[in-house]
Structure 1
Amino acid sequence: MTEGQPSTALLATRSLRAPRTPETVSAGARPRSLVWVLVALGPGLAALIGVSVLVVVRGEPAALILSVLVGIVAVVLNVCGAASMERGFQMWALPRRGITVTAVRTSPYGKSGVYAYTDRNGVSHTYARQGYAGRIEISYRPDDPGVAVGVYPVVVRVLVALGSLALWAAAVAVICLMGVMGGSV
């Protein structure tokens, strides 16, 4: 070492930033697309607005309260049907087309399960599920690893699909009831 040059043997550096931890993304925490919103809200809102206009034009404003209440029920049923249909589709498609990994429970036992998994890029994600197992199988989309579903038996997937269809059928029935209400006023 020459004079005038600092000695690096005793020099220790440390970062003032906190150590970087892998990003944890919760499954399903993503904004909905415009198409999803239109499918979920469109028919119920169209029926609500249409019947409300018919009721007012025909001179029965008292029936407007009933048509608005029935319209709100139609919108809620339609949104629930769209949400459960989307999740039901993912329950069928992701185990076939996605990447299936084992997720390890990170939450304390006695509470609903929060499971951690790592995608193929090394990013950590979490998945919440009502269950108490130490490890579960989940499938996620290769292009969007934050979208994940548990791998369920076929019986459970069939029940979810039938429940989704029942919600859609109820929404259609309420919308048809609104059409009858609008035509009979």
Structure 2
Amino acid sequence: MKESSREQSAERVQLCTTINGVEVACEVDAAESLMDLVRGRGLTGTHSGCEHGVCGACTVLVDDRPVRACIVLAAQVQGRTVETIESVGGPDDPSRLQRAFSACSGLQCGFCTPGFIMLATGLLRENPCPSEHEIVEAVSSNLCRCTGYASIVQSIASVVEADPDAGAPARPPSRERTHEA
């Protein structure tokens, strides 16, 4: 019986990275995506949409830059810092962006929202006071079937308008180191 090509190339690699402030040392399949790595760690806010890097539902930050976790290999984040939606706030303590998305109706079904929040977090860290045109340009890379984008743009703009000197959303603090086989 012939093995599948994935089984034939099941090379394992050691990975040391930081995910949401936690240092992680583990072994991963060389072909494992960053999305599979974070979701496998219980960080299921990173949504699997198209799995081709088109929709943006899986957007996370790697060294403060938005990336599509479905098309980045886990091995590519060796020595880097990864942040998922879980790092920016939750139901009990939502971030300014999360509150703005709710207040401005920047979310409908919510499937794409984590990707937009992470995209906006990266944008605001790079440019704490983007123009509406810059916000529109940034969000045009992610897909949403429910809102029509105007409310998403307004959500991000409202954070800038409310406190342009507040700067970008904070990075998660560094925490304990975990080791896995």
Q: State the TM-score, normalized to the length of structure 1.
A: 0.21
Q: Which has the higher helix share?
A: 1
Q: State the TM-score, normalized to the length of structure 2.
A: 0.21
Structure with higher Rg: it is: 1
